[in-house]
Structure 1
Amino acid sequence: MAAKDGLEADTEGQGGGVQSVDRAFQVLDILARTGHAGVSEIAEELGVHKSTVSRLLGSLVAREIVRQNNDRGKYQLGFGILRLASAIPGRLSLVHEARSILENLADEYKETVNLAVLRSNYAVNVDQAMGPSTLATYDWVGSLTPLHATSSGKILLAALPVDERNQIYKKVGLTSRTSRTVTDRVALEKELLSIARDGYAVVHEEFEIGLTAVAAPVYNHIGTVIAAVSISGPSFRFDPENTPGLIQGLREAGLKISAKMGYTGR
C-alpha cells in the first residue's frame, strides 16, 4: 500500500490539478448513479487510496456540491449541484438546440418535421424543417393544434398526470376533426398508456384527412417531457409504421435533442 501511496503522491505532483478535477467528476458520477456512497466504496471503484477520496470529498463538501449523511456517514449530492444545474436550462434554447436534428430528419425521410410544445391546452409548433417534396409546403410554425388529434399532442398528453389531462378535456373537450378522431375519453386514455410505454405516437388522418404523422418525446434535464418532435406527410405515401427504421430514428432524434437539453437518460 505504501508503494501505491507513493505513486499517487508522485502523480499528483505532476499535473495533479487536472487529475484531481477528473477524479472529482468521477466521484460526482458515482454519487449521481448510486444515490449515496462511503469513502471506501468510492475509493474501491476509482482504484485510489481512501485518503485521496477524503480530500476530494472535503473540497466538494466545502462548496456544498456534496453533503454527508450524518446518520450513516455516507455522501450524496448536495444543494450546490442544484444551483449549478438551475443555471443551465434557462440558457438553453430548445429551438436552437433542436434545429440541426430537425433538418437531418427532414433530409433523411423527405417529409415535414415539426417541434411542438404544450401551451394553453394545445400543442404549439415552434419550429419546422421542410422535406424536399413539393407537396410539403404548409408552414405549421405558430399553429395551435388539438392535443387529442395530433401525434405531438398525444405525446404531450401522455406525459401529463391523469388529473391534468382531465382538466384539459374539460376546458377544450375532445372535438372531432375528422371521422377518425378519437373522441371517446376511455379509448383515448388507453391509447395514451400505449404511447407512454412505446415512446411514440402515430395518427392516421385524425387531425386532417390525407395527413399521417408520428411523434416522439423530448425530455429536459430532470426527465420531464418538454416537447415532441414529429414527422408528417401525405397518407398516400407516408407510412411510418412500415418504413424501416423511421420510428426508431425519430425516437433517437428525440433523445439527441433531449441530451442537448441536459437529459442523461437516468
Structure 2
Amino acid sequence: MDSTKVKPYGTVLIKQKEILDFLLSYEGAPTLADISKGLGRPKPTLLKILNTMELIGFVRKNGDTKQYSLGISLIPYAQKAISSFDIVEAASPYLRKLRDLTQETVNLGVIRDNKIVLIQKLESPQSIKMQSQIGGTMRLYSSAMGKASLATYSQSKLIHYFNNESFDAITTQTITNPQILTDELRIVQRDGYAVDDEENERDVFCIGAALYKNGHLYGAFSISTPKYRLSDERKREFIDLLKKTQLSILETI
C-alpha cells in the first residue's frame, strides 16, 4: 500500500502516535505539560488521549509525580513486529556468530522514513555499552548501516534523498556535505562496506554492510566498537568477518 495516497480516518490515532514517538525519544518521563510543550498541542486534548491510552495499557502514569512512560502492553506488539521481519530470522544465527567472533556489539537495521531503524542488537560481552536501542533510529548519512544502504541507491533515488535531508551534525565528525558523502559512497560501492568513524556517537567506530539482493534492500548490519579497542589489525579482521557474514546471510534469502 502506498502510504502517500492513503488519507487518515480521523486524527486521534495520528495524535496517539505522536505521543508514543515523544515518549520513546524523551529522556526520562515527561509530564502532561512537557508533552504539550513538545508536541505543540493543548493539554485538554492530550489528556483525553492519554487517559484512553492509559486505560488500554499503552502508557503508564505515575500517580505521585504525574509523569508518563510507555506501557508494558506495547511489548507483545513490539515483539510480534520484530519477529515478523524475515530478515531477522534469516540473519540472526550469522549475526550471533559474528558477535561471538568479534566480541563486539552487532546491529541489524532496516530503512524507514529515510532513517535506519534498529531491529536487533546483540550486545558485546565486554563492559562498555552503546547508546543505541532496539526501535531507535539513526540517520543514513551518519551511520555505517545507513551509508552502506545509500550506496545501493540509484542516482535518482540518491538525489531525492539528498534533496530531502537536512544533514544536521550529530557529532563534530558527521559528514554534512552531500558532495563529500557522495565521494565516500563511491568508496563504499568499491570496497563493499561502510564505516562510521565517531560520526553518529563519540568514541564509537562502526563497520557496516548492506543486505541487498536482486534489486531489493532487505536491511543492513554493522559491528560497533569503542574506538580505543580498534587496532588496524582488528579492523581488517572485522571487515573480513563482516563480508563473510554478509555473504552467508544473502545466501539464505
The TM-score, its normalising length taken from structure 2, stands at: 0.63
Aligned length: 170
- The C-alpha deviation readout for 1:63-122, integer Å capped at 9, x for no partner, is xxxxxxxxxxxxxxxxxxxxxxxxxxxx98110111111111111111110011111101
**Which residue does the alignment assign to 1:171?**
164
CA distance in 1, matches of 2:197, 2:112: 23
- Runs of at least 4 residues off by over 6 Å: none
CA distance in 1, matches of 2:100, 2:115: 28
Cα gap change, 1:212/1:224 in structure 2, threshold over 3 Å: closer, same or farther?
A: same
CA distance in 2, matches of 1:144, 1:129: 16
1:191 correspondence with 2:184: yes
1:118 correspondence with 2:111: yes
Equivalent residue letter for 1:100: P
Q: Is the 8 A contact 1:148 1:174 kept in 2?
A: yes
1:172 to partner: Cα distance: 2.6
1:243 correspondence with 2:235: yes
Q: Is the 8 A contact 1:115 1:230 kept in 2?
A: yes
**Which residue does the alignment assign to 2:121?**
128
Q: Secondary structure at the match of 2:135?
A: coil
Q: Is the 8 A contact 2:149 2:209 kept in 1?
A: no
Cα gap change, 1:167/1:252 in structure 2, threshold over 3 Å: closer, same or farther?
A: same
- Of the three residues 162, 168, 174, the one matched with 1:181 is 174
1:243 to partner: Cα distance: 3.3
Q: Is the 8 A contact 2:145 2:209 kept in 1?
A: yes
Q: Is the 8 A contact 2:152 2:212 kept in 1?
A: no
1:188 to partner: Cα distance: 0.5
- Of the three residues 100, 104, 108, the one matched with 1:107 is 100
- Of the three residues 89, 107, 114, the one matched with 1:96 is 89
CA distance in 2, matches of 1:235, 1:98: 25
CA distance in 2, matches of 1:135, 1:151: 19
Equivalent residue letter for 2:249: I
CA distance in 2, matches of 1:169, 1:137: 28
- The C-alpha deviation readout for 1:244-264, integer Å capped at 9, x for no partner, is 421011011011111111xxx
Cα gap change, 1:258/1:144 in structure 2, threshold over 3 Å: closer, same or farther?
A: same
1:209 to partner: Cα distance: 1.0
Unpaired stretches in structure 2, ≥5 consecutive residues: 1-83
1:238 to partner: Cα distance: 2.8
**Which residue does the alignment assign to 1:78?**
none
CA distance in 1, matches of 2:93, 2:141: 28
CA distance in 2, matches of 1:159, 1:232: 21
- Of the three residues 151, 175, 199, the one matched with 2:144 is 151
Q: Is the 8 A contact 2:87 2:218 kept in 1?
A: no
* Structure label with greater radius of gyration: 1
1:152 to partner: Cα distance: 0.2
- The C-alpha deviation readout for 1:137-185, integer Å capped at 9, x for no partner, is 6452111100000000000111111221222222232111111111111
RMSD of aligned C-alpha atoms?
1.9
Unpaired stretches in structure 1, ≥5 consecutive residues: 1-90, 262-266
Equivalent residue letter for 2:112: R
1:195 to partner: Cα distance: 0.2
Q: Is the 8 A contact 2:210 2:221 kept in 1?
A: yes
- Of the three residues 213, 218, 228, the one matched with 2:211 is 218
CA distance in 2, matches of 1:138, 1:205: 13
Q: Is the 8 A contact 1:214 1:240 kept in 2?
A: no
